[in-house]
Amino acid sequence: MGAEGADGFSPTSGGNGGNGGDGANATLNGASGGAGGSGGDGGLYGNGGDGGDGGNGASGTNSFGGLTPGQDGGDGGDGGAGGIGGAGGSGGSLAGHGGEGGDGCNGGAGGKGGAASNGANGVAGGNLNAGDGGDGGDGGTGGTGGNGGDAGQAQAAGYADGTQGSGGDGGNGGAGGNPGDGGDGANAVAGSGATGGNSGDGGDPGAGGAGGKGGTGLTTGSTGKAGTSPTSGGGGGDGGTGGSGATGAKGGTGGAGGDGGLYGNGGDGGTGGAGGKGATGASGTTLGLPGDTGATGGTGGDGGAGGLGGAQAGNGGAGGAGGTGGVGGQGGTGATALSMPTGSGVPGGGGSTGGLGGTGGTGGT
């Protein structure tokens, strides 16, 4: 781990206490940062010195080809304690007021938790899904807790026999120091709609990670994943976007927003997926028939519902917007009439209308 910072000097007369030294940053993978030095106590009238900041923890080693787990990042060093303010002097013998005591200084900030390593990629051509993102490191303790490290981002899934695997789940946000903020959950990657990471615990938890976008379906697009709902005070995660529809098919429904924690706002519903483009009409024939009209585009997916606001003070999330309608298919190409060298070619078919937009989601209360 990193070396600890030196303590500040404490004068014996009336001066201010010296500031504590900062802890050293860790250099070896997975090692913890050094603790900050304590602030020196103030002299008779002096202020206490500030505690030193804790050093940063070193990042853990990455997973090797998905065969070994990624190493945890090192903890941030603890912040040094603030020095005690000096005592006020005694009042004069006739009517003097006593001197004011020196102010105590704050403890050093806790070190930030190490960032989590990324999940391993799925194997292309195999049948393995992607690895999950690692959890963020916890923030260090101190006068003010450090923020928890954000979770590592999940990697895209591999393909198995032409079928897309599921995206890895986002890692959980690290717990904040007392009372630092929790790290936000990582967003899930696209696939069949992986789950977003959970929010970190702490004084003010981070919002849940957004749900992953649904994959493009063989017919209708898949539904976006719902946002996470924290169990403490944080906001709910936003719902994922619905997947796009295949040719002429309806887009997927947006994921629902996560409900807010006790004081948190509800997450917004995900946007509906776009409808698929209409099929192109058939070409005209050599007998002089016109081309066919293109097919109508697919209907846009419905927006996801907004999450509920927290019981104490949270607002409801907004409903997701409906997806856009698919583009109408092109008309078929006209053909030249047979054995009519001086005749005009017949026209191609008309383009079709675009699909309808999806319905917006219901707002949370």
DSSP one-letter string for 191-207: TTTPPPPPPPPSSBPPP
The label of the residue with tokens 């004069």 reads 92
> What was the pLDDT predicted at 67?
60
Give the predicted TM-score (pTM) of the model. Answer: 0.45
pLDDT of residue 311 exceeding 60, the answer is yes
Residues 294-301 have a mean pLDDT of 72
Angstrom distance (rounded) from CA 285 to CA 293: 14
pLDDT of residue 63 exceeding 50, the answer is yes
> What was the pLDDT predicted at 255?
74
- Strand, coil or helix: 144: strand
- Strand, coil or helix: 53: coil
> What was the pLDDT predicted at 321?
72
pLDDT of residue 282 exceeding 60, the answer is yes
pLDDT of residue 10 exceeding 50, the answer is yes
Tell me: the pLDDT tens digits for 220-257? 555 665 666 666 566 666 766 766 666 777 777 777 77
Angstrom distance (rounded) from CA 298 to CA 243: 13
Q: Is 252 buried (19+), middle (13-18) or exposed (0-12) by CB count in 10 A?
A: buried
Pairing of strands 159-160, 163-164: antiparallel
Beta strands in the chain (DSSP E): 159-160, 163-164
Q: Most confidently modeled of 77-86, 181-190, 195-204? A: 77-86
Q: Which residues pair with 181 in a beta bridge?
A: 204
Tell me: the pLDDT tens digits for 25-54? 778 877 777 777 777 777 766 666 777 777
